[in-house]
Structure 1
Amino acid sequence: MVSNRPAPEAPFVPSQRSADTFVYGGARTDDEGPWEEWNPTAESVRPPRGKHRVAKQRGGGGFARSSTVLGVGVIAAVSAGGMASANTGKAPVSISLPDLPGVGSLISDDEPAEDTAPALSSFGSVTTPQADDTAPQSAADAGEALRSRIMAQVESQQTQVETQAQLAAAEAAAKAEADAVAKAEKEAEAKATAAKEKAEAEAKEKAEAARLAELATQYTLPTSSYTITSTFGEAGAYWSSGYHTGLDFAAPTGTLIKAVHSGTITSAGWDGSYGYKTVLTLDDGTEIWYAHQSSISVSVGQKVATGDVIGRVGATGNVTGAHLHLEVHPDGSASGIDPGAWLRSKGLNP
């Protein structure tokens, strides 16, 4: 801390005339008479001798002209600036001082104390940071910065949420589209399979119809103008086996009986309960039995073609009326099969 040196005291020299009273221009003795009032004038005042400095006061009511007061003011200003910087968190604010002659002498120890007064009086003002004004402003700036950061974070998070929602929606849409495509493909495949199966079935039916049509030209029903009275497998006391072994075509006596297919006559004559019976053996070995005929028109070993007449309907043997009893024996077996099913397999509908 800079301090002003005390002014040197004037040396005290005792007057040889201690009893004398000091007067201008010499000493006055008591015997010179009574005191008179002295009114100095310009002519009576002697110009000052020696070197005297009188500091002028600028502007009325400025800073004190004492170097000690100036030092205290500077230190206070510097301290205030430091406190303001610490409170606000900003860089210290510099103190602006006029660049005037003699300012350096304020803190110099080389100059006499009396020389600091003029320099002190030359300062107009000392600028100090306004801590009370800058602190609220700094707090407002800090609050605005914090608010901006919070809003930026909120916007960033909101953007992330929206992005994730968009991605989830896109994934859901893609999955739904993929499912729809897979479903459509599955339905299309099922339709194609059904169409293929239907086409194959139709083709098969057409092929079978064509085959039956071709067979129909090769096979024929055994008689005409008939009525089916008994079918294969019916049970009853009329048949010795307990059930009907053939298919009965009821027709008037004398109705023509025809060969259902080309073959060879292997039997022709009377056969007990069958009456007059003819056996036609086809090329594949199947035997067709014609029973209860009224007459036989062929003989054993004769070759016949489809539709050739082999006899006539009658009521011979174990019967209750005129009809043709037809049996089918594959490969000449003893037990027969359903003649109706066999005829249908040949494209015929009895």
Structure 2
Amino acid sequence: MASNRPAPEAPSLPSQRPSETFAYGGQRVDEGPWEEWNPTADSLRPVRGRHRVAKQRGGLARSSTVLGVGVIAAVGAGGMASANTGKPPVSISLPDLPSVGSLISDDDEVPQEAAPATLSTFGTTADDTAQGTADAGEALRTRIMAQAESQQTQVDTKALAAVEAAAAKAEADAAAQAEQEAEAKAAAAKKKAEEQAAKVAEAARLAELAKQYTLPTSSYTITSTFGQAGSMWSSGYHTGLDFAAPTGTLIKAVHSGTITEAGWAGSYGYRTILTLDDGTELWFCHQSSISVSVGQKVGTGDVIGRVGATGNVTGPHLHLEVHPGGAATGIDPMAWLRDKGLTP
């Protein structure tokens, strides 16, 4: 039968003294040579399957117990050596080692696959621990920086949104103000155009009226206006419009109408009253002569008398008064004539 294969040596540290060996492959000087013996089922209960173990003189058998003791001693010696080096102690965990018997087989059978060993921190130094702590700190710093960057991005986004909203509001306000200004300009332009159109229309109306009305005389000078105050007038103010002209200057009908009075009128001297179709009375006073009679129809420009100096006067002139609707109190003849398109 084949002899047993030697078992693997127990791990050792450099600081361990090689004076004693607890694993296979070495002999103590006080021990004799080894011999093989083949146990039977009756003499030794196998741990796992059929195994061959070596019998040591003195009754000590090679077994997993001896190997375990050697490993513990080696680990203890390594720990002491580590303590002597001054390095900080580290935690040690060992994987489950298979028994010696499982490593020895009396035939070519393939041993059963051992369970995977647990990870060990054996050999881990303080530098490795510090490196792991530094990596964890760097990861935490990276997370904090990422979170801060995300928060800053949110703040920047909100600020940008606020700026855009303010810009949009300012643009809307500017557009509204521009629209209001445009509307105001358009309204002003429209009003100006309407005023211009009204002026044009009024000019056209006056031009048409001017064809129907005429001034009462020619070659004259305006000497007194309506409302002028003075003691020479019995009412205290002038009630008409005076056209100073030489005696005998022709007096014409301002508009077509009917003669309702022609004769002496006291302070007015010789007076002719022309009543228009709308009821307005025109008084022609201080005449030197009268050329029409009551009830006579006259047209615009017809001669009704001549300029004189009869009545309460200081010189030859035509005193013209306008009484709308035949009222006792007259209005300004200048304004009335201008409303008819005439400019005295």
Pairwise same-fold verdict (TM > 0.5): yes
State how far apart, in whole Å, the 2-side matches of 1:50 and 1:261 are: 170
SS in 2 for 1:317: coil
The answer on 1:68 being equivalent to 2:69 is yes
Give secondary structure in 1 for the equivalent of 2:228. coil
Q: Structure 1: how far apart are the matches of 2:278 and 2:337?
A: 15
**In structure 2, do the counterparts of structure 1 residues 343 and 49 end up closer, same or farther at CA, with 3 Å as the change threshold?**
closer
- Counterparts of 1:314 and 1:212 in 2: how far apart (Å)? 31
In the other structure, the counterpart of 2:324 is 330
Q: Say whether 1:344 aligns with 2:338.
A: yes
TM-superposed deviation, 1:181: 0.6
Deviation at 1:186, TM superposition (A): 0.4
Q: Which has the larger radius of gyration?
A: 1
CA distance in 2, matches of 1:98, 1:240: 152
Q: Distance in 2 between matches of 1:217 and 1:268?
A: 26
Q: Is the 8 A contact 1:258 1:311 kept in 2?
A: yes
Superposition pairs for residues 172-251 of structure 1, below 5 Å? 172-251=166-245
What aligned pairs does 1:315-326 form with structure 2 within 5 A after superposition? 315-326=309-320
Q: Partners of 2:257 and 2:198 in 1: how far apart?
A: 29
Q: Shift of the alpha carbon at 1:104?
A: 6.4
Quote the residue 1:161 is aligned against. Answer: 155
* SS of residue in 2 equivalent to 1:279: strand
Aligned twin of 1:305: 299
Residue 280 of structure 1: aligned partner: 274
Match in the other structure for 2:127: 133
Cα distance, 1:279 vs structure 2: 0.5
Instruction: Quote the residue 1:90 is aligned against.
Output: none
C-alpha displacement of 1:53: 3.8
Which secondary structure state, in structure 2, belongs to the residue aligned with residue 310 of structure 1?
Answer: strand
Whether contact under 8 Å (2:35, 2:56) holds in the other structure is: no
- CA gap of 1:298–1:135, structure 2 versus 1, over 3 A, is same
TM-score for both structures, normalised by structure 2: 0.69
Matches within 5 A, 1:104-115: none
Aligned: 1:102 with 2:96:
no
CA distance in 2, matches of 1:48, 1:139: 54
Secondary structure of the corresponding residue to residue 264 of structure 1: strand
Report the equivalent of 2:165: 171
Unaligned 5+ runs, structure 2: 1-31, 37-54, 58-65, 83-88, 104-119
Q: Which residue of 2 aligns with 1:258?
A: 252
Assess if the C-alpha contact under 8 Å between 1:97 and 1:127 holds in 2. Answer: no
Deviations 1:223-278 (A, max 9, x none): 11111111111111111111111110001111111111000111111111111110
1:254 is paired with a residue whose SS is: coil
TM-aligned CA deviation for residue 133 of structure 1: 3.3
- Counterpart in the other structure of 1:291: 285
2:206 aligned partner, one-letter code = L
Deviations 1:302-340 (A, max 9, x none): 111111111111111110001000000111111111111
Aligned letter for 2:69?
T
- Within 2, Cα distance between the matches of 1:268 and 1:76? 163
Amino acid in the other structure paired with 1:289? W
Q: Give the direction of change, closer, same or farther, for the CA distance of 1:189–1:75 in structure 2 (3 Å limit).
A: farther
Whichever residue aligns with residue 245 of structure 2, its letter is: A
Query: Cα RMSD (Å) of the superposition?
Result: 3.0
